[in-house]
Amino acid sequence: MSKFRLLHIGLDDTDSKDGMCTTYVGAVVVDRLREMGVKIFDYPRLIRLNPNWVLKTRGNCAISIEVETRAELIPKIKQIVFETVEQLAELDHETTNPGVAFLEGGDIPEELKTYSKKVIQDIVTIDEAENLAKRIGAEVFKFKIGRGIVGALAAIGEELKQDKTYELVAYRVPNNRGTKRKIDRESVFKMNELTYPSTFDNIDLATGEIRITPHTPCPILYGIRAENPQTAVKAHNIVKALEPIERWVIYKTNQATDEHIRDARISKVQAERSFMVRGEVCKKPRIIRGGHVIFRIRDESGGIDCAAYEPTRKFRETVMKLTVGDVIKAYGGVKQKPSLPLTINLEKIEVIKLSPVLEKVNPVCSLCGKRMKSAGKRKGFMCKHCKLKLPKEAVRFEEMPRLITLGVYEVPPRARRHLAKPLIRLSPQVW
Ligand code: ATP
């Protein structure tokens, strides 16, 4: 009897802006392996990597698949993976540099787990990935410059033992790719009504936009994000596709988990990564050209600009209600644009402390109880009825009601990054 072995397969960097998607390549590999009788362990994994990485094509995702197989089938499995990548990857595109990784055995080395976190939250080099592979006995294969090995290894190392969600992805037949997606809008609303919040980010209710269909020429018809695979299937059965579905797959994923965010003091914040910083508003929110809202926060280590960009729509109105002295936690990706200060592209804010806003008011007349009027510039106050006069020092300050309360505020689904955790996922009704 031959022995069974566990084999981890990692894939990345197969698409270009003109088409394809690594999730599709993963789905085809899964189907081809199943056809040859290979057992796929658990669900294949869709791991979103650093969303601020400049060389990503779109959503910066990589795929891993864990299989249990007889040892003698391993070479055939590897061949299927290579053939599928070769057949489907957009190899003619300069920026498409696929990478494939294999790791045998059930236990993921600690060093690989740490590396995966780094690829999700930070930046690593191809050399770093290759050296790690050597140390842990993983095999990596590079197509062209093979940048994809960075993500392929990271996808193997993120086991999703903590927070996780699922995404059911349905793919279009080749002839339809690049054309307008045909899907019954009402059925998406019905699906949302029957499955939300166990599915989420299906619709942007403020604008009525359907959020399960992408706007790129990739093979995806729709993707349904869900808390568990059962609800994802239920939702898929409610949605009416008005064009054929070639195949679908359920991925287990780190989407909607905030795994990309690191806590930091402001002075430690770096461009091309994502952070949560706590600070006091030191420059009031203002609207700049393009409808973006910018304000500044500081802590004892420094200051940083925060931005709620135009696509975040109503979130900007919330942000505009902040004032100097308020204390918030700001969550988001950090960008450095030429000649502009480092800026956090806000994904959400938590308002921790509201500063009192005081406004000058005229004193009340002690004789008739009516509000006094100004007696002229620097001349104090006078009661029109009783003619009582008071010096300008009699001015009073009253605390104005604040138009924002303590709590967490997030951008709407239309502006949400794949990794950002929607607030509804914190609600007990999800579970
Ligand atoms: P797809 O959806 O097909 O995977 P994508 O948006 O995920 O496209 P890729 O085409 O995979 O983007 O390009 C990203 C490339 O950058 C990959 O080669 C990946 O291995 C590499 N990469 C991803 N994250 C990092 C990171 N944090 N540091 C360094 N390289 C990274």
Ligand 1 centroid to 119 CA: how many Å?
9
Q: What percentage of the chain has pLDDT greater than the value 90?
A: 90
Distance CA 146, CA 143 (A): 5
- Do 181 and 172 contact (CB within 8 A), yes or no? yes
pLDDT in tens, 150-209: 999 999 999 999 999 999 999 999 999 999 999 999 999 999 999 999 999 999 999 999
Which ligand 1 atom lies nearest to the CA of residue 152? 20
Question: What is the percentage of the chain residues whose pLDDT exceeds 70?
Answer: 98
pLDDT at 211 over 90: yes
Ligand 1 in contact with 53 (CB < 6 A)?
A: yes
pLDDT over 90 at 58, yes or no = no
What token pair was written down for 118? Answer: 């780094």
Expressed in angstroms and rounded, the spacing between residue 58 Cα and the centre of ligand 1 is 9
With CA atoms as reference, report the closest residue to 46 among 189, 233, 220: 220
Question: According to the model, what pLDDT value does residue 428 have?
Answer: 56
- Global pTM reads 0.94
To test the pocket of ligand 1, the residue of 29, 60, 126 to mutate (highest count of ligand atoms within 8 Å of its CB) is: 60
Task: Give 232-266 pLDDT, tens digit per residue.
Answer: 999 999 999 999 999 999 999 999 999 999 999 99
Packing angle between helix 22-35 and helix 74-88, nearest 10 degrees? 140
Mean predicted lDDT score pLDDT of the chain: 95
Q: Is 218 in the pocket of ligand 1 (CB under 6 A)?
A: no
User: Is 202 touching ligand 1 by the criterion CB < 6 Å?
Assistant: no
Buried b (16+ CB within 10 A) or exposed e, 399-422: eeebebeeeebbbbbebbbbbbbb
Q: Which residue, among 10, 287, 346, 339, has the nearest Cα to 151 in the 3D structure?
A: 10
- Which of 18, 29, 53, 143 has most ligand 1 atoms within 8 Å of its beta carbon, as the pocket-test mutant? 53
- Cβ of 11 below 6 Å from ligand 1: no
- For ligand 1, the distance from its centroid to the CA atom of residue 273, given in whole angstroms, is 14
- What are the two backbone dihedrals, phi and then psi, of residue 30, each rounded to the nearest 5 degrees? -55, -50
Task: Measure 13 CA to ligand 1 centroid, in angstroms.
Answer: 6
Most confident of 1-15, 18-32, 416-430: 18-32
Ligand 1 touching residue 411 (CB < 6 A)? no
Gap between the terminal Cα atoms of the chain: 44
- Is 58's C-beta closer than 6 angstroms to any atom of ligand 1? yes
Residue 324's pLDDT band (boundaries 50, 70, 90)? very high
The mean pLDDT value for 345-354 works out to: 98
What is the pLDDT averaged over residues 9-25? 92
147 lines ligand 1 (CB under 6 A): yes
The reported pLDDT for the residue numbered 336 is 84
Cβ of residue 15 lying under 6 Å from some atom of ligand 1 = yes
- 336 vs 1, more confident: 336
Of the candidates 153, 108, 158, which has an alpha carbon nearest to the alpha carbon of residue 130?
153
Which among 23, 429, 7, 377 has a CA at the least distance from the CA of 227? Answer: 429
Ligand 1 centroid to Cα of residue 386, in Å, is: 77
CB of 249 within 6 A of ligand 1: the answer is: no
What mean pLDDT do residues 93-103 have? 94
- Residue 19 is predicted with a pLDDT of 82
- Cβ atoms 260, 121 nearer than 8 A: yes
Cross-strand partners of 232: none
Supply the pLDDT for residue 17: 84
Does 364 have pLDDT greater than 60?
Answer: yes
Report whether pLDDT(326) > 60: yes
Give the per-residue pLDDT at 220.
Answer: 97
> What pLDDT is attached to residue 429?
53
1 pLDDT higher than 60: no
User: How sure is the predictor about 50, in pLDDT bands with cuts at 50, 70 and 90?
Assistant: very high
pLDDT band at 431 (very low <50, low <70, confident <90, very high): very low
Q: How far apart are CA 362 and CA 395, in angstroms?
A: 5
Coil vs helix vs strand at 269: coil
Dist. CA 136 → ligand 1 center (Å): 22
